[in-house]
Structure 1
Amino acid sequence: MTTYSVFIAPFVDYGFMRRALVACLALGLGSAPIGVLLMLRRMSLVGDAMSHAILPGAAVGFLVAGGLSLPAMGLGGLIAGLSVALLSGLISRTTALREDASFATFYLTSLALGVLIVSLRGSNIDLLHVLFGTILAIDATALYLVGGIASFTLIMLALVYRPLVAECFDPGFLRAVAGRGSLYHFLFLFLVVLNLVAGFQALGTLMAVGLMMLPAAVARLWAQSLPAMFVTAAGTAVISGYLGLVASFHYGVASGPAIILTASIIYGVSLLVSPSGALRRLFPRPHYGA
């Protein structure tokens, strides 16, 4: 097999592979920077909880549309995710529970409710598609939706970059200076939910957070500045999507898990050889004084 037949021919010969690659590109550009901010806020597990919170809404969209209609399921997932974000924030402000604890309780409830709704009217195949995604079956409508979400995310990050960074590192300072900390926090959660809905279109609810958090962790190991983390995370997500699709095509494995496992392999290698990795710490370079 030649290099062309392995790495290029699948995307030249098959339209579904090209659409899947474009979806991975859009997901990488939109989700990865959001994942970096989630990681720096120490909210990585909140992102995972939110990815499951969209499941009941997606399941309702599945029932209303009478099948796997990605726009209907995406709209339902967006409404469900925003509802969980608002309720979690309300509970954390009116009770003794912290916001992460509120997300955890909603995560368990949402996952169980969503699986129950799909299993009542759908088949096991439908349930697998909802949980693990169908990136190779993504159509033009879903692709426009994913691309639109990525474009909107990048525009919003450009417009409110400074407040989001300030709210990320010193929310108390932002509240004291601008008095809009809660507004920016909600805007950030809105972007998280929106990108999880985009990820759900391709990777399902169980792995939608994969292209958000794994590339962010890789970026943290290689880059020091925030812009460099954004670029590294987006590049890692796109490369993971491309190599995962290639592996899925040639070896007949599920595309979604192949993409996430590729990102995991990159993360594992980065843990060893990156500037912040284990080998650099175990075998530091000698410093020679003057």
Structure 2
Amino acid sequence: MNQVILSLGFGLVTASILAMGAVGFTLQFGVTNLFNLAFGESMTVSAFAAYLTRADLHWNMWLAMAAGGATGMVVSLLISRLVYLPFLQRGTTQFAMVMVTVAVSFILKNVLQIFSGANFYSYRLPPQRPVHLLGMVFTPRQLTIIGLAVASLLGLHLLFRYTRLGKAMRATSDDPELARSVGIPTSRVVSAAWLLSGLLAGLAGVALAMDLGTFDSNTGGASCSSSWRPPFSVASGSPTGRWSARLSSGSLANWRRSSARTSRTSWRSRSWSWSC
């Protein structure tokens, strides 16, 4: 039972990190109808931007995370304007656009590898005293990440429900032609969606690198490909659904890892006793 509770705690941290990215992906797909497979690489670029500001400028980690979020916004908007928009204006099919996003993903990953090589990087954060909460164990840094994820998702909920921009995004997502005919500036709305999703990608990328301890040029893409399959089965327009899917899959993944470690340890102990 203790193992399940501990796995739930670790799953909460994992779910919080990837939920930010998954909701950002949902926002992109919902407004633009574009399945952007380069999203994970945007997370990695943001993680490296935070690393540079911390290593070279000696910024506080949370200021470095803000720089990573800003980098995610810039990268997301530039990719959409310089790469995706010209293809969409030519009437490129949705399947072909997926191939374009795959190409962008490979380009970003290889550019990162040119500068970073095969090395692993770390923010070199100081150790923190663990906090016990309801049988689960967290560090203050992990609790801050969970709070940041909850605040981000709550902010998006309030944005979509109560602001003109959020309502314009919902209208553009439902029917772009109708939204344009009633005077909604859909191009600006789409740009705002790319900026917001880039911000979430940046925050998720930096938080993921913090939680893992070390990261490289493959971190964001690998996390997306291995961990986002369950959330993608949820409806693309449901941030709450993605949050619950991330919570369940994150907890399950951590429980599997801890169970595997326990099984290996038990097997080694039995093997040692038999050999003796």
TM-score normalized by the length of structure 2: 0.62
Larger helix proportion of the pair: 1
Higher relative contact order (CA 8 A, sep 6+): 2
User: 1:218 maps to which residue?
Assistant: 233
Structure 1 alignment gaps of length 5 or more: 12-16, 130-135, 254-290
Secondary structure of the 2:73 match is helix
Question: Which letter does structure 1 place at the counterpart of 2:3?
Answer: V
* Aligned-partner Cα distance in 2 for 1:211–1:232: 18
In the superposition, relative to structure 1, how do residues 239 and 34 fare at CA in structure 2: closer, same or farther (>3 Å)?
same
| Residue equivalent to 2:156 | 153
- Shift in alpha-carbon separation, 1:38–1:234, aligned structure 2, 3 A: same
* Counterpart selection for 2:121 from 126, 147, 152: 126
Q: How many residues align?
A: 225
Unaligned runs of 5+ in 2: 125-137, 210-218, 263-276
Alpha-carbon distance in structure 2 between the residues aligned to 1:65 and 1:78: 14
1:240 Cα offset (Å): 0.5
Q: How does 1:1-290 map to 2 (within 5 A)?
A: 4-8=1-5, 10=6, 18=9, 20-27=10-17, 30-40=20-30, 41-44=32-35, 46=36, 48-66=37-55, 71=62, 74-91=65-82, 100=97, 103=101, 106-119=104-117, 124-126=119-121, 139-159=142-162, 160-200=165-205, 201-202=207-208, 204-209=219-224, 213-220=228-235, 229-252=238-261
Structure 2 CA distance for aligned equivalents of residues 162 and 35 of structure 1: 18
Counterparts of 1:25 and 1:66, CA distance in 2: 28
| 8 Å contact from structure 1 (residues 56, 114) kept in 2 | yes
Of 66-75 and 84-93, the range deviating more from structure 2? 66-75
Aligned residue for 2:212?
none
Native 8 Å contact 1:215 1:237 kept in 2: yes
Whether the 8 Å CA contact 2:11–2:250 is kept in 1: the answer is yes
Give me the whole-angstrom Cα distance separating, in 1, the residues matched to 2:226 and 2:182: 34
CA contact (8 A) 2:45 2:72 kept: no
Q: RMSD in angstroms over aligned alpha carbons?
A: 4.0
